[in-house]
Chains A and B, each alone.
Chain A
Amino acid sequence: MTHVRTLALALAAASIIAPAARAQEALGDLTLTFPDLKAKQGQILIAVFDSPQGWASGKPVRFTNASAAKDPATAKILALPPGSYAVRAFQDVDGDGKMATNPFGIPTEPYGFSRDAQPNMGPPSFAAAAFEVKAGANAQSLRLN
């Protein structure tokens, strides 16, 4: 009985303390810029991943876009739990919402990966594109080719 009561108290205490602890664990805001776009048209479609599994299966944790008309094109992704992330993006120049490819499957719209990770007969690995998001302001620049 005493044990049960102690446990209950402990849980109650934990439930009171936990939100305070989480509030202290500050989130990160990520600003992405896309310099030197060749065409200032359409939206840049941006996917943010937090794991190699998500990267490989194409399941982003965040998805956003940025106007390519602005110079430089910029997107802000707010309130990310600190950790390791990777970004892939393409410029939807023709506005159809899809990354256009030629008949042999090669992208015909500009695309790129965080940390300027380079494709080599396929996208780069999560590790090659990954960067740390820390509490507070974070910035990454992506070159779309």
Chain B
Amino acid sequence: MNRRDILRGAALTGTAAVLTPETLWAAAANDWTLGIADVEADIAPTGLTRIHGRAPADLTGTLFRNGPAKFRRPGGAVGHWFDGDGMVRKFQMADGQARMAARFVDTVKRRQDTAADAVITPGYGTASGPGARLGSADDANAANTSVMMAGGELWALWEGGSPTAMDPVTLETRGFKALSPDMKGMPFLAHPRVEPDGTVWNLGLAGKRAVVWNLSADGALRKAEVITLPRAGYMHDFTATERSLVIILQPWVQEGMSMPIATNMVWKPELGTKVLVLDKNDLSKRRVFELPPFFFFHLGDAWEEADGTIRFDACIDKDPSGTAANGGAIVRGEFLKAPPPRRAMITLRANGQAELAAEAVSAEFPRSDPRFAGFARRYSVHLTNERPDRPLFQSVAVRDWKKDRDQVFDFGARHLVEEMVFAPRPGSSAELDGWLVGTTLNLDARATELHVFDAGHVERGPLVTWRASVALPVTFHGVFVGA
């Protein structure tokens, strides 16, 4: 809704006050919109109620999750799901009990929008409002996409700017993290690739240029190198093997520098998809593979086989008209009917050939056992069963690539299911020996629920489910931190 629409509405009804985005939202809402509702305040630490099953005795740790939780203000709302204020949730499990807390990340953007009583900060799909400050990308940093642990700090991540450091105990915001004084304000994607020893690889993008970050497990900067990419393709995620970085350049190309970011993107399927493979030890050693055009947000961890073949799974769309466009629609309570993203396996061969094997299975939020990151693995975890009549997913799947078999648990139509992450069983090193931990939003109970599955028997359903006293909007990504 633009200003003219508001004024026209006011002239017709004479009641400008009721025509705020917030009230229009409330009137129009389908009940799935609980998943993208506004949260007004932090959630103080509180216990969860066990409603089903029993927690594994040896499961001890914390699930941190991040996602936008404030979308609408009296003077104007975000234009896209990706532009809501980040709220970090913390679910602690120990001794069969679960507790939670949640706090908004205290960003420049949140302060600016709060002071204006309107969303004035531009973003992925939100235009700049009057008085907005945008001196650097961090002024628009929503810190709303993911989290990682680094040197005892919790970092809230957003792909266009710096990590935001938080206290993992209190969830208090400490501020933007400059990885070195001269790299202050450089972007850091929300999808770092973490080797089993904790070494972090990540990218940050500015058109055709990218910074390649290499951090030690404690979050200290080892190296940051700027490289040039073959194209300015939109990139939310990349992947890596033990030896290589694998960067997919989809044909959704940035053709301008204005805000909102999404308005600069042009779909050019005729360009196909390029895959850039860089040697981690020498970024000048690069190979480029060609694939048919596709759109993606998320990739699985990659691995390299003895003959040099690189493989990884991906969640792909035909083009950006589905998943990407729906992120704008759902904040308005609308849903664009579009095919869901589907699972695919990508193979890059030593002879330079590349293959894309797309499947019919709907899939998003792919994860795997982080102890196998970069190495040959057998399993992927992802969400599945996007419903045709509403956004988001209702099931979780474990894919066994070796046996070509899927295990699926269906929460049913009344749950919005969020990404599930793996928590290893203490003392075990076998792949996926442990639990899947994740949240759903129960639309009937109007409450967020925390579930734990035996990762080897997902189809049996949760071992334990706890229910929160609040309904929090759905999150994007999280990490499990064992105690």
Binding site for B on A (CB under 8 A): 94, 100, 102-104, 106-108, 111, 118-121, 145
Interface bits B158-179 vs A (CB < 8 Å: 1, else 0): 0000000000000000000010
**Given A119-B133, A145-B135: A102 touches B184 (CB 8 Å cut-off):** yes
Q: For residue A118, which residues in chain B have a CB less than 8 angstroms away from its CB?
A: 131-135
Residues A121 and B182 in contact, CB atoms below 8 Å apart: no
Residues B211 and A121 in contact, CB atoms below 8 Å apart: no
Q: How far is the CA of A69 from the CA of B217 in the complex (A)?
A: 37
**Given A100-B182, A102-B185: A120 touches B132 (CB 8 Å cut-off):** yes
The 8 Å CB contact of B133, one of A104, A106, A120, is A120
**Given A121-B257, A121-B258, A121-B259: A102 touches B134 (CB 8 Å cut-off):** no
7 nearest A-B pairs in the assembled complex, by CB-CB distance: A118-B133, A119-B135, A108-B184, A104-B206, A106-B185, A106-B136, A120-B134
Residues A108 and B135 in contact, CB atoms below 8 Å apart: no
B410 CB, nearest partner CB in chain A, Å: 45
Decide yes or no whether B183 CB sits under 8 A from chain A: yes
Residues B128 and A120 in contact, CB atoms below 8 Å apart: yes
Interface bits B304-315 vs A (CB < 8 Å: 1, else 0): 000000000000
B161 CB, nearest partner CB in chain A, Å: 10
Q: What is the chain B residue whose CB lies nearest that of A104?
A: B206
Decide yes or no whether B460 CB sits under 8 A from chain A: no
Q: How far is the CA of A145 from the CA of B175 in the complex (A)?
A: 14
The 8 Å CB contact of A108, one of B131, B185, B259, is B185
A68 CB, nearest partner CB in chain B, Å: 16
Q: For residue B209, which residues in chain A have a CB less than 8 angstroms away from its CB?
A: 103-104
The 8 Å CB contact of B186, one of A103, A119, A120, is A103
Decide yes or no whether B226 CB sits under 8 A from chain A: yes
Residues B181 and A108 in contact, CB atoms below 8 Å apart: yes
Q: For residue A106, which residues in chain B have a CB less than 8 angstroms away from its CB?
A: 136-137, 184-186
Q: How far is the CA of A110 from the CA of B31 in the complex (A)?
A: 46
Q: How far is the CA of A47 from the CA of B185 in the complex (A)?
A: 25
Q: 27 A-B residue contacts at CB 8 Å?
A: A94-B181, A102-B183, A102-B186, A103-B226, A104-B186, A104-B187, A104-B209, A106-B137, A106-B184, A106-B185, A107-B136, A107-B185, A108-B181, A108-B184, A111-B135, A118-B131, A118-B132, A118-B133, A119-B133, A119-B134, A119-B135, A120-B128, A120-B132, A121-B257, A121-B258, A121-B259, A145-B135
The 8 Å CB contact of A103, one of B131, B134, B211, is B211
Interface bits B117-160 vs A (CB < 8 Å: 1, else 0): 00000000000100111111100000000000000000000000
Q: How far is the CA of A31 from the CA of B209 in the complex (A)?
A: 42
Residues A121 and B184 in contact, CB atoms below 8 Å apart: no
B271 CB, nearest partner CB in chain A, Å: 24
Q: What is the chain A residue whose CB lies nearest that of B187?
A: A104
Q: How far is the CA of A111 from the CA of B133 in the complex (A)?
A: 13
A115 CB, nearest partner CB in chain B, Å: 12
Residues A103 and B183 in contact, CB atoms below 8 Å apart: yes
A75 CB, nearest partner CB in chain B, Å: 22
Q: What is the chain B residue whose CB lies nearest that of A108?
A: B184
Q: For residue A103, which residues in chain B have a CB less than 8 angstroms away from its CB?
A: 182-183, 186, 209, 211, 226
Q: How far is the CA of A82 from the CA of B135 in the complex (A)?
A: 30
Interface bits B325-357 vs A (CB < 8 Å: 1, else 0): 000000000000000000000000000000000
Q: How far is the CA of A6 from the CA of B134 in the complex (A)?
A: 62
Q: What is the chain B residue whose CB lies nearest that of A105?
A: B206
Q: How far is the CA of A103 from the CA of B259 in the complex (A)?
A: 21
Q: How far is the CA of A145 from the CA of B133 in the complex (A)?
A: 11
Q: For residue A111, which residues in chain B have a CB less than 8 angstroms away from its CB?
A: 135
Interface bits B238-279 vs A (CB < 8 Å: 1, else 0): 000000000000000000011100000000000000000000
Q: How far is the CA of A111 from the CA of B185 in the complex (A)?
A: 14
Q: For residue B184, which residues in chain A have a CB less than 8 angstroms away from its CB?
A: 102, 106, 108
A134 CB, nearest partner CB in chain B, Å: 27
Given contacts A103-B209, A104-B185, 8 further A-B contacts (CB under 8 A): A103-B211, A106-B136, A106-B137, A106-B186, A107-B135, A118-B131, A119-B134, A121-B259
Of listed A100, A104, A108, A118, residue having the most chain B CB within 10 A: A104
B212 CB, nearest partner CB in chain A, Å: 11
Q: How far is the CA of A121 from the CA of B178 in the complex (A)?
A: 21
Q: How far is the CA of A111 from the CA of B132 in the complex (A)?
A: 16
Q: How far is the CA of A118 from the CA of B135 in the complex (A)?
A: 7
Q: For residue A107, which residues in chain B have a CB less than 8 angstroms away from its CB?
A: 135-136, 185
Q: For residue B132, which residues in chain A have a CB less than 8 angstroms away from its CB?
A: 118, 120
Q: For residue B128, which residues in chain A have a CB less than 8 angstroms away from its CB?
A: 120
Q: For residue B178, which residues in chain A have a CB less than 8 angstroms away from its CB?
A: 108
Q: What is the chain A residue whose CB lies nearest that of B134?
A: A120
A91 CB, nearest partner CB in chain B, Å: 13
Q: For residue A100, which residues in chain B have a CB less than 8 angstroms away from its CB?
A: 182
The 8 Å CB contact of B134, one of A94, A104, A108, A121, is A121
Q: What is the chain A residue whose CB lies nearest that of B178?
A: A108
B38 CB, nearest partner CB in chain A, Å: 26
Q: How far is the CA of A108 from the CA of B226 in the complex (A)?
A: 17
Q: For residue A108, which residues in chain B have a CB less than 8 angstroms away from its CB?
A: 178, 181-182, 184-185
Q: What is the chain A residue whose CB lies nearest that of B206?
A: A104
Interface bits B272-292 vs A (CB < 8 Å: 1, else 0): 000000000000000000000
Q: What is the chain A residue whose CB lies nearest that of B137?
A: A106
Q: For residue B211, which residues in chain A have a CB less than 8 angstroms away from its CB?
A: 103-104
Of listed A100, A107, A118, A121, residue having the most chain B CB within 10 A: A121
Of listed B136, B181, B184, B209, residue having the most chain A CB within 10 A: B136
